[in-house]
Every structure is written in C-alpha cells, then in structure tokens.
Chains A and B, each alone.
Chain A
C-alpha cells in the first residue's frame, strides 16, 4: 500500500513534469487553430486531427535550416575548440612544472566565478569597436577558452595515475605525444562531461547572440525562436513545431547517451 502510494506520487509528479513537453510535441502536430482551442481539455494531449502542416509552415515562413546550421556551427566550434584548448591548459596546470604556473592557475580559479553576463557589456563594446557585430567569430571566439572547463580537466588529470605518463616518457614519447596518445584516451569521462555541459550551455545561449546579432545570416536558434514567436501572424502550432525541431536533436542525443549526461552533470557538482 505504501509502495503503491509512492509510485502514485512519482507518477503524478512525472506527468505534471512531462506535461509541457508532451503538450509541445502533440501541439506541433495539430492544426494551428486547435492548439489554443483544445489546450484546456484532454484533447490537448489527444489530438482530434493530426497534420504536419505546422512544420511545412515553419520552413515556408523562415529559414529554419539556416538557423539550425548556425547553431550547430557556433556551438560545435565552441565545443571542439574548447575541448582542445582547455584540456591542453588543464594538463599544463595539472602535470607540468613551469614558471608562473601557480599564479596563472589562481587567475583561472578567480575567473571561474565571473559569469558571461558580467562581461557582456564591455565585450559588446569591444566587439562593436572591432566591427565584429553580426558575425560568427563574435559568437565563437570569446567562449572557446573556459575557466570552468579548464578546472574540470585539471582536477581529472590530477587524479590520473602518474605512472602511465612516466611509462610513456620512458618509452620515448614527448609531452604532446604523451598527452594525445596516452592521457586523452584514458580521460573519456571528463571529455564527455565538458562536451555535454558546454554544448547544453551554448545551444541555449541567448543573451549574447541576441545583443550581438541583428540579421538572420548568423542568428542561432534561441534568438530565432524568440523572434519567430513575435512574427505575425501569431500561429502557436508553427511555434511549437519550431520548438520541437530545435530541441529534438539534443533530446535524441540525450536519450541515447543518458548515462553520460547524468554522470557528467553529477560530476560537475562534486567538483564545484
């Protein structure tokens, strides 16, 4: 009885929780007029009529493909360059002895507490002076180096057994070879964590692209959906279809690699 109650509570909470998602997915397949009209009844989740017209509309009304590729290109560049740059720095801080290392590492730790919001204004000013407004580079370059990623790599590398690197050096490998051929293949968890955390953050990044982009050419998805939902005529079906297409790829990757996502997020907690 107690167990049944427990299951009931969890199931109810889960239903409330999944509600908005179900509503979005179901709504995106309904005739536009039904979305609001049926929102208050059970038909919000059980459509009386199914159509893909909303999806067609999205492509007709805006250049969705462009926005999607923009997001993919921007986020992908930040993630890939970030993995490269930040893991190298994390390794240099964790394992190599050099002058000025400790002072610079202190700087990294201090910069960890500075959120991007705190630098948006001066960065916007800098980018304006450089003439980088409305470009990809303004959306990528400032975010490649990331203090938190460096810190995550640093703590992970510190915990690796040193013997492997010793062995590699005795076997004749140089510093970079040791890093890429021995350290990196044994550090998959931290690379997964940093990839996931960085990707999620920048896939949803809104403030900076909103102030730094003006045209559609380099506009990413979050800004695009904000604009789209104010684009007359107001069609909720289309907006939901846009939303589904925007989140579906991430959601599918998440469902497939769930174990890594959960572990990655949890490990940021134990490091903080």
Chain B
C-alpha cells in the first residue's frame, strides 16, 4: 500500500516539446484515480514518469513520500498494465507471471502458490500454460492483469488497458476491475481517453489537457461543477452546448440572451453567488447547458421555449437525442473541437444544439421543433473559459 504524489512535475521532450507542465496530484493510499484527456494531453507521459520509464524534467515524483525521480523502474515496486498488454510472446502465461516474481528473488514454491492464487482470482487458471498468441483479447487482458497483480505491488498503473477490446467485453471487464480494486484496495492510477471509463471507475478523476491538469475531483463533482469550459465540454456525452450569451436583469430576476433568444432565469443553481451575477450583467459570458437541460416544450411555461430546425435525430430506445439549429453559434475549446472532428460526427455542425429527451417518435430532419430549456441549469464561464 502506498501514496503517490506529483509535485509541480514538468516533462519536456527533445528541446522544446512540452508534454507536461506544473502537474501536481496526490493519490491517497488505496485510492483509484483516473487520468483522462484527449490524445496527446500528456496523460501517458505522466503515468510513464511514475513508472520510471520516462525521466522527470522538473519537479518531483514521490511514492510513499520518497522522491523517486532517479530510481529505475525495478527499484520502484510498481506494476503496470500496458495498452497492448505487452505479454512476453515467447513465454506462457505462467512464465509471464513468474517473471516479476523471479526478479524479486522469491522461492519457487512461494512463486507457484502466488501464481495459482492470482490465476484463481482472475479466472485464468485454465490457460496458464498457453502462449499469448493462443489467447483471445479478453484472456490476454486478464493475463496482463495477472502479471501485474501477482507480485502484490505497492502501486498499480494501467495505461488504456481496455482500448483494444470490443465494446461488450470492455463493459464486462470494466465492472470486474472496479470490483477487484475494491476488494484488494490497491493504490491505482488508470489512464484513459474514454470518459465513460473515467466516470465509472475512478474514486477521483483528473482531467488533463495540453499538458496541464484542469481539475481533479470525484466523478459527480466533475460533472456538476466543472472547473472550466474544457472539463465541461470534455466530460459528458453528448457534450454540453456552449455559446456566447449576455446576462440582463428583468423585474426581480435575470435574463439570458443568446442569438435571437431572450430567456428568463433565476439564480437557481445551488452555490451560485448573486453578487457575482450582478457584476456580470451586460458583460459577455459563455453559457453552457447539458443536453438534458432541454425538455419537451409542454413541461415549461412559454417564456422558456426555444425554436429551431431539426438537423438530425437519434432514437436510442430509452431516450431521444436531437440535434437542431436554433441560430446559435456553438463555442467549443479547440481541443474538444479537434475531438469532434476525429469522431467525424456528421450533421452536427457548429450551429447544432444537442438535446437529450425522453423517448418519443423521432422528428425528421428539416422539421421545425420547439423545446423547453431549464435555464436554471445553466453553467456560466467567463470568455477565457473559467467557470463562474
């Protein structure tokens, strides 16, 4: 059991490629922390520095309050599961698991006992004597976990361990992993680009972008109180709708105007500071609404409705996702925009708002649509993306 700490860690590749900047994070004993972010954000680098596979350019990495910057991987007592599993192809699963134990100088009898026990926990006893090539994707994944767990390490690190599995298997093993960590209580750092994995597995989630830590908090808090525009738009699927807006006052409440729309809103969200709202009046802000802030028109009074043209609708059975154009320019941070392009979401142009609605008959594209908007669920950001 151990704690992990990054103190103002910096990593520079070559002469000037900054992969990580001023990164600080503390992982408590037995905690499961997920580092999530788009590709190239520095999350794998952070993990590899912890493992000792990359040198530390600046700052300190600590395991159990001991600075480990200059220790080689084998001096750190950590286990790691790699994206492609990195099982030794010329060794059987048993020999793969035996390898770290042998390196620790453990007696043969004890090694066999530990392999048997770990194999039993992971349910891989039946193919201990096979080579990695003879295993399915899921079995390989388990074998890789086995090799990491068998040595009973201080810390276990996982680098995108599920990304090579098909969707169904991923969900299955994800659940098993959560159970397993709960049972063993191992300090774990898990790196992924998949926000669903992050939200379901982590005690806390650290969101990383462009080499900087954006926020680290329990999943619900990340979702409810994103620290900035990046976190707000990166976490959540479909992603948050963000656009330029202006705050105004009307009678004893406030209004939010964007595009051609002016909607009333009260400072309804808990923790909102009314004094701060006063200061924002007539200043440009960014307003964000999660897709579930929309609802069928008849659930709200007329002043909180919004009209648009349907671009695309996806009926998912239990819910209905509608993309529609309400003449509002969507504003996204560049990293998130890049991801949207990667995933090539067609029909979800810059002007499309996304709404998540109860299951209903899907509208056709081109149809006019009127939806309600719970303006009280607004997230406000200053033009630089900081949460207000």
- Which A residues are within 8 Å of any B CB, using their own CB? 161, 163-164, 166-174, 177, 181-182, 185-186
Contacts and interface: CB of A to CB of B under 8 A. Distances in A.
Interface stretch (B20-28, B61-69, B75-83, B330-338): B75-83
Contacts of B53: 166, 169-170
26 contacts: A163-B82, A163-B86, A164-B86, A164-B89, A166-B48, A166-B53, A166-B73, A166-B80, A166-B82, A167-B82, A167-B147, A168-B99, A169-B52, A169-B74, A170-B73, A170-B74, A171-B147, A172-B73, A172-B104, A173-B74, A174-B72, A174-B74, A177-B103, A182-B88, A185-B88, A186-B88
Contacts of A169: 52-53, 72-74
Given A170-B52, A171-B74, A174-B74, 11 more contacts: A163-B83, A166-B73, A167-B86, A169-B53, A170-B51, A170-B53, A171-B100, A172-B73, A172-B100, A182-B88, A186-B88
A172 B74 CA distance: 4
Nearest to B74: A172
Contacts of B48: 166
Interface residues of B, number: 23
Contact of B99 (A161, A171, A174): A171
A267 B262 CA distance: 71
B139 interface: no
Which 8 A-B pairs give the minimum distances between C-beta atoms?
A172-B103, A167-B86, A171-B100, A163-B86, A172-B74, A185-B90, A169-B73, A170-B80
A91 B103 CA distance: 22
B80 to A, nearest CB: 5
B255 interface: no
Contacts of B79: 170-171
A164 B74 contact: no
B162 to A, nearest CB: 16
Contacts of A167: 80, 82, 86, 88, 147
A168 B86 CA distance: 9
B153 to A, nearest CB: 9
Contact of B90 (A166, A170, A186): A186
Nearest to B87: A167
A9 B79 CA distance: 63
B46 to A, nearest CB: 15
A163 B84 CA distance: 8
A161 B132 CA distance: 15
A181 B95 CA distance: 12
Contacts of B103: 171-173, 177
A170 B78 contact: yes
A174 B78 CA distance: 15
Contacts of B151: 171-172
